Every structure is written in C-alpha cells, then in structure tokens.
Copies of this chain bind each other. A is one copy, B any other.
C-alpha cells in the first residue's frame, strides 16, 4: 500500500519566526510585547505595528530562524511511515526562496528536494494530513488538518490542535494504532 502523505508547513511549525519578528518589532516600535499582548493575533497586527511585517521581505530573514523544539526528531520518525512534503507559502516573499531552501538543507537535510513545495494558495495540495498554523489552509484542505498552535489561532476550535511536536508525535501514534487495529 502506498504511504499516506503529510503536508507540513514551515513558518511557526518547524521554523520559529517569533524571536526575529519580536526583534524587528522592538527595533521599530521601541518596546517588546509580551506573549499576552499579542495573544489572538500576529505580532505585527498590534496597533501601529503593520510596518513590522516588512521585515519578512528582507533577504536573510528566513535564513537563520530557530528550529521548533522536537520538530527534527519527529519529522524524521514520521518519514518512516509517511510520505512527507514541506509545503510553504513562500510565493509572497521573493527573497525567501533561497533562504528557505538553504534553511531546509541545513536543518532538515534528510528531506529530499523533491518533497519541498513553495506555493501561494495551498488549495492545490493533495495529501492525507496537513499540519499548519493557518486556519485558512486547513479550511480548504481535503484531508485531516492539524492546527499547530500559534498566537494568531488561539481562539480557533474547529480543528484538532497540536501545541508542540510532542503532540504531533502523539497524534500520529494514535493514527497508527487505529490503522493497524492495535490497542
């Protein structure tokens, strides 16, 4: 039987954009917001901070983001049982392509280039599972969607939520038990 396919997002799922966004916020606004202050939204959606988002268009922004804790180990495990594709909405950011490509080669060298997708609209993607922090991507997805917790999606209740990579591991362990008729 062909392996089932997982579509895995990058930003705020395996790559942590928050520290660099907070730095950019602080540089521009002169103060650093706490997690409580941007709960329910993106950091640059705080009042007067729209310009902070421009940092996403600068060369190098996506090149040195920290890896989300545990993501490397769990992704490697998942690749034993699933066909895994990185699906990232890079297309808005011309300068992100090479940075994202290099970041993946450095931090996830075991993911083949054939399994990387830079796109805009994720409706085009065909997979069995999608792990993403954006509700809009899960809303139009035909398979099972996992909502990876991020500040901007805290109020969302329609999708199975994963708070960290340990939660992702647990979810797929459950799926495996169901599939193999275990317990």
**In the complex, are the beta carbons of B120 and A115 less than 8 A apart?**
yes
**In the complex, are the beta carbons of B126 and A120 less than 8 A apart?**
no
Identify whether the interface residues of A are mostly helix, strand, loop, or mixed: mixed
Scan residues 46-96 of chain A and give those whose CB is less than 8 A from a CB of chain B.
85, 87, 90-92, 94-95
**In the complex, are the beta carbons of B121 and A124 less than 8 A apart?**
no
A119 to B90, CA, bound (A): 12
Q: How many chain copies?
A: 2
Interface flag for A117 (CB, 8 Å): yes
Interface flag for A44 (CB, 8 Å): no
A117 to B7, CA, bound (A): 14
Given contacts A114-B121, A120-B113, A126-B124, A98 and B91 within 8 Å (CB-CB): no
Name the distance in Å between A109's Cβ and chain B's nearest Cβ: 14
Given contacts A98-B97, A125-B126, A91 and B120 within 8 Å (CB-CB): no
A 97-132 binary contact with B (CB < 8 Å = 1; else 0): 110011000000000111111111101111100000
* Chain A interface residues toward B at CB < 8 A: 5, 7, 85, 87, 90-92, 94-95, 97-98, 101-102, 112-121, 123-127, 142
